[in-house]
Amino acid sequence: MAGERPEDIPGYRVERQIGQGGMAVVYLARDERLGRPVALKVMAPTVAADETFRLRFIRESRAAAAVDDPHIIPVYEAGEADGVLFIAIRFVSGGDVKSLLRREGPLPAARVAPIVAAVASALDAAHTAGLVHRDVKPANMLLDTRPGRPDHVYLSDFGLSKDMQSSQLTSPGNFMGTPSYTAPEQVTGDRVDGRADQYALACAAFEMLSGEVPFAGPHGWATVWAHLNNPVPTLTDRRPDLPLAVDQVFARAMAKQPGHRYQSCGQFSGALHNALGLLPGRASEFLPGTVPLETIPHGPVLPGPATAGQVTANQFTAGQFTANQVPTRPPGPLTTTQEVVRRRPLHRRWYVLAAPVAVIAAAAAFAASTLMNPRQPPLYSEIQAFTAPSTPGMQPYASSVAFSPDGQTLAVGLTTLTASGPSSSGVTYLWDVRTGQRITLLAPGGGPEAFSPSGKTLSAAGGHGNGLTSMMNTATGTRTRVLNDNTDSQIDSEAFSPDGKVLACDESAGFVYLWNTTTWKGHMLAAPGDSVTTAVAFTPSGKSIVTSANDDRVLLWDRATGHVSATLRGSSGNVLMTSVAVSQDGRLIAAGDQDGKVYLWGADTKRRVLTLADPHSYGVDTVAFSPNGKLLATGDGNGRTYLWNIPSGTLAGTLDNPGGRVTSQLLGESRTAVYSVAFSPDGKTLATSDTNGNAYLWRV
């Protein structure tokens, strides 16, 4: 980089070159006025010749110097001398994190966490001041090492920073940054804000933990293409010693869409800290500016600003949580007095607490462990609630929801609880989606329900312990037929074939009964070996029937022959698959299991393409694809509905039913499970059930 003549910069005596990049050379120099060593960064002549860059460099270097955070490298001076752009910063003798990685390889989690926390603190301070760094990477993380104290981490090199309110710096095909850490929006020319820095910080953290950048190609544009198109790699594949929860943290922080990432770099840092399972007592050390975990009664959470964590028990019971929160699982393992009581050896359940006092204590602890950010608007909003009348001495819970093909009617199945447990006297309500008014009810009912493709017929199972299926004319509201397979088995899943000629009913006895809707004659599909079917769906072509099973498998049946044509496996071992769904384009099959995992397979390849898991899951009870196949909704035993972005493989949002955890005065139960979810045909609305007896509509 000849011609820069750093020795001509007044007030500085250059001693030696200590670094070089594509845009600048860094020298160790001495500030002759104060007699201190400095790192003198001199910009390349080709960059300095750009008048727009020169003006912005000086303005933003001064702005960065004004950001007050102990982890931003102190800037002593920035300016121009005889056509040479330079910046003088504190000289840090400990080197940078990139050099550390070259020497030591993947770093221990306890070493990575404080580095990420320090850089996150610096970035959030810069973002608050209106600056985006744009080039966060290990080489820009400096380590000040001194005997007798932990390393102090500085974030350096704000040379590419820009004001978040300024005009675009990049355009498609022309971006500034380092390819291995570049957020997709920096490449496409979309608006760039602090979430791009979060993406880069996540890439750097991934590299610190694994020793490899998440996306690598033979040249820069191959890497950039991977950032734009490839799913986030699984860190635990490279570091199997780390908890699985870290994969979801990186999936969210590196989501392709900025809106799907964490609200701040500090929140990402806190989530990573918790996922790594580091000691709560060190939370304040790792997470400057966040609520120390030692102040939270139970379980790690996603930390936010200290002022955002004031959630009271009253807020908890009133359901005043934002739709995008991911609260923790209630504290501790289930005890013998909190044992899961199942309707059958499948996925429907409720949680019995020892006494009302235990319920109140659990609610208060859960509320205290859930941190909110009131400034963040919910990604998804509730637009309707349907509440059925309750008979004294009985309390219904919504066990199923289903939309009519035109989206104007919602069927809600209600199972009734009595002092002795669930009864078989459930009912199915039909609600007008637009007005919220009840159209009619069908008894016995209780779900599950399925509308025929024409919408003229509704099939409603008889509810808990009832093996009958009622067929109803939706125009007249009258029951036209009752189906009874004489097996005394409860029906837990129903689906019409796309041509409407077959109704499939999954039976709790572990088989699927197929009814011909013309002759109303039926025959049984029995799973091979020891497998027991648990849910049923049709492929869009109608040629195959898909069932989940009790042994971590999904079975594909040839509808014409009644034989199993393919078997798909999860990864949890001999675990109950509770639910199954097929995307409308027929390309993906999804299934959830009791371990809280959701698996997606390619319908053509029969290979697993994605595994989704939330660390707070009580077990997945139901799954449903949006019509465009971009979202997957999963109802969970913890009372929440998770919305997963399929293209990015990340968590897009978490819905808490507004009723929250409802305590039954009759049974002394805290019942939270979401047993059923359904998208409207236009994909703009999601229906969810709730064990407090309500069904909800959400705008998605």
Phi, psi of 260 (to 5 degrees): -95, 0
| pLDDT recorded at residue 111 | 93
Residues spanned by the domain of 458 = 381-699
Buried b (16+ CB within 10 A) or exposed e, 179-197: bbbbbbbbbeebebbbbbb
Other Cβ atoms less than 10 A from the Cβ of 52: the count is 7
| pLDDT recorded at residue 507 | 83
One domain, residues 583 and 534: yes
Kindly state whether residue 312 falls inside one of the protein's structural domains.
no
pLDDT > 60? residue 618: yes
In the numeric block, the tokens 């460099």 are attached to 57
| pLDDT recorded at residue 659 | 58
Q: What is the pLDDT of residues 560-583, one digit of tens each?
A: 998 999 999 887 677 888 999 999
One domain, residues 108 and 242: yes
Burial class (CB in 10 A: 0-12, 13-18, 19+), 573: exposed
The average confidence (pLDDT) of the chain is 76
DSSP 3-state of 115: helix
Mean pLDDT to the nearest integer, 641-653: 89
Beta bridge partners of 506: 493, 512
Q: What is the CATH number of the domain that holds 277?
A: 1.10.510.10
- Whether residue 688 contacts residue 348, with contact meaning beta carbons closer than 8 Å, is answered with no
- Whether residue 425 contacts residue 378, with contact meaning beta carbons closer than 8 Å, is answered with no
Q: What is the CATH number of the domain that holds 66?
A: 3.30.200.20
Mean pLDDT to the nearest integer, 345-355: 32
| pLDDT recorded at residue 59 | 67
| Number of structural domains the chain divides into | 3
Instruction: Find, among 235, 231, 230, the residue nearest to 249 by Cα.
Output: 235
Alpha helices in 573-625 (DSSP H): none
Contacting residues for 644 by C-beta, under 8 A, at least 6 apart: 598, 612, 631, 632, 633, 634, 650, 651, 652
Q: What is the CATH number of the domain that holds 608?
A: 2.130.10.10
Other Cβ atoms less than 10 A from the Cβ of 523: the count is 11
Domain boundary among 272, 295, 318: 295
| pLDDT recorded at residue 21 | 67
Kindly state whether residue 577 falls inside one of the protein's structural domains.
yes
Domain boundary among 245, 266, 295: 295
Instruction: Find, among 688, 698, 699, 595, the residue nearest to 399 by Cα.
Output: 688
CA 503, 504, 507 angle in degrees (round to 5)?
Answer: 135
One domain, residues 43 and 162: no
The pLDDT confidence band at residue 476, using thresholds 50, 70 and 90, is confident
Q: What is the pLDDT of residues 128-154, one digit of tens each?
A: 888 898 889 999 999 988 777 778 999
- Whether residue 576 contacts residue 550, with contact meaning beta carbons closer than 8 Å, is answered with yes
Query: pTM to 2 decimals?
Result: 0.50
Amino acid in the structure at residue 513: Y
Token pair belonging to 582 = 């097929």
pLDDT > 90? residue 508: no
Cα–Cα distances (Å) from 178 to 106, 521, 675, in that order, read 20, 65, 46
One domain, residues 495 and 542: yes
220 against 650, higher pLDDT:
650
DSSP letter at 160?
Answer: T
Burial class (CB in 10 A: 0-12, 13-18, 19+), 35: exposed
135 is catalytic: yes
| pLDDT recorded at residue 337 | 24
One domain, residues 570 and 688: yes
DSSP letter for each residue of 20-47: E-SSEEEEEEEETTTTEEEEEEEE-HHH
Least confident window among 259-263, 386-390, 482-486, 578-582:
386-390
Check 135, 485, 614, 656 and give the catalytic one.
135
| pLDDT recorded at residue 639 | 81
Distance CA 196, CA 42 (A): 26
